[in-house]
Amino acid sequence: MNDQRPRVRREVVSFVRRSTRMNESQRKAWDAHRDAWVIDDLPMVEMHTSLAPEATIDPAAIFGRAAPLAVEIGSGAGENAVALALARPEVNIIAFEVFLPAVASTLSRIARAGVTNVRIIPRDGAQGLATLFGTGELAELWTFFPDPWHKGRHHKRRLVNPGFADLVADRLAPGGLWYLATDWADYAEHVHEVLDEHPGFAAEHRRMPHRPETKYERRGIEAGRRIHDLAYRRRA
C-alpha cells in the first residue's frame, strides 16, 4: 500500500492496560460474534502489542462492498458506532477499542441492532490508523470522549497530539471530517491548540449528526460539565 505513510511510534499509549476479564454475557457475545465482526487475525510484532508494519486490511472485502469509510478510535462499548451504523447504513465503520470486555459489549449491541456495517479491531487505533490505511482513504474519523489524561506529566498520553493530527490529516480524504467530543474543558482547549492552526484542517464546530448521548456524555453532564463538540474538515 502506501510506503510514504508516516510511522507513529507509540511506546506511550493513550489507554490504560486493564484486566480483560469479561462477565458472562460479554463472554457469550464474544464467543458468538467474534468471528463475524472482530478483526483480530492481523500480524503482530512478536512479544509486543503492536501491529506488524506489514499488517493490512481490505475494507471492501471485509464489508463485501466499497463504501465511504469512517474510523472510530476508542469506541468503548460501541454506543456511538452502533447508533451511527443504524443511522447511516451507507457508511462502512471500523472501530478500534483495546478493552476487550467493551468490545464484547459492542458485539451484543451490533447483534441487537442488526447492523452489518461495523467491524472492530481490538488494537491501538493510533497505530492502526498509521499501519492499516493509506493516504486519503478515510471519509471520517471519530474520537469521542477520549481519556482525558489531566495531569501535566500525562499529557503526552493524550490521543490528540501534533503527530496524531498530522497522521489524521494524511489519512482523511480532502473534505473529510474529524469529529471529536469531550466533557473536559482542558481537553477541548488542548484540541484547539493542536488543531486550530494546523494547515490541514478548517474548524467547523458542531455536534455530529446522529451522535447519541453515551454513558460518558451523561456522566459529564451529571457532574456539571459542558460538552464540547468539535469538528475539523480536511482542507482540499
Ligand X SMILES: C[S@@+](CC[C@H](N)C(=O)[O-])C[C@H]1O[C@@H](n2cnc3c(N)ncnc32)[C@H](O)[C@@H]1O
Residue 220 in the binding site for ligand X (CB under 6 A): no
* E-assigned strand segments in the chain: 69-73, 92-96, 118-121, 138-144, 172-182, 201-203, 228-234
Residue 140 in the binding site for ligand X (CB under 6 A): no
Applying CB under 6 A, which of residues 29, 214, 228, 234 lies at the interface with ligand X?
A: 214
Looking at beta carbons only, is 126 or 139 nearer to ligand X? Answer: 126
Residue 40 known to be catalytic: no
Residue 129 in the binding site for ligand X (CB under 6 A): no
Residue 178 in the binding site for ligand X (CB under 6 A): no
Sign, CA dihedral 158-162-167-171, equals positive
CB contact at 8 A, 30 and 22: yes
CB contact at 8 A, 197 and 70: no
Catalytic residue among 147, 170, 183, 229: 147
Looking at beta carbons only, is 80 or 117 nearer to ligand X? Answer: 80
Q: Characterize 142-152 residue by residue with b for buried, 16 or more Cβ atoms within 10 angstroms of its Cβ, and e for exposed.
A: bbbbbbbbeee
Residue 144 in the binding site for ligand X (CB under 6 A): yes
Give the contact letters, 49-78, x = binds to ligand X (CB under 6 A), - = no.
------------------------xxxx--
CB contact at 8 A, 191 and 62: no
- For ligand X, the binding residues (CB under 6 A) are 14-15, 73-76, 79-80, 96-99, 102, 124-126, 144-147, 159, 214-216
